[in-house]
Amino acid sequence: MLLSAVYLMVVAAAVLAVGAALTAVPFVVAVDMAERRRFSATRWGGVQLALLVLAALVFLVGWRHGHLLLLGVPAALLCWLTPLVVSLLSTDDGPLGGYQGAHEA
């Protein structure tokens, strides 16, 4: 009985860690990278939130229709797409990255 309770807690902790790695961590990384390049952190944070919602929808469709492995990978890639795009931009790409406003500086 005690072993199954410990097992349940370990599984729950693993699920929460994976959930945090796929939601909160990419958001923080994207906003931090945008701020370091002096891009609009609000713009890139909004893009990241929209992609997280899209990734959640893709994941739920895969879960409901039994194609979790097939659609889980694109959902994970959508979560990390914004940090990847921001990492490819340099500080000189201001028109594409969006300049910081006075309220963001």
pTM: 0.74
What is residue 85's predicted lDDT score, i.e. its pLDDT? 87
Distance in angstroms (rounded) separating the CA atoms of residues 34 and 86 = 7
Distance in angstroms (rounded) separating the CA atoms of residues 34 and 97 = 8
Distance in angstroms (rounded) separating the CA atoms of residues 35 and 37 = 5
Distance in angstroms (rounded) separating the CA atoms of residues 97 and 31 = 12
Place of tokens 């694109």: 74
Burial of 42 (0-12, 13-18, 19+ CB in 10 A): middle
Please give the chain's pLDDT, 105 residues, in tens. 777 888 889 988 998 888 787 788 899 999 998 888 888 888 889 999 999 999 989 988 988 888 878 888 888 888 899 888 888 887 676 665 666 666 555
Q: Nearest-CA neighbor of 81 among 26, 42, 43, 38?
A: 26
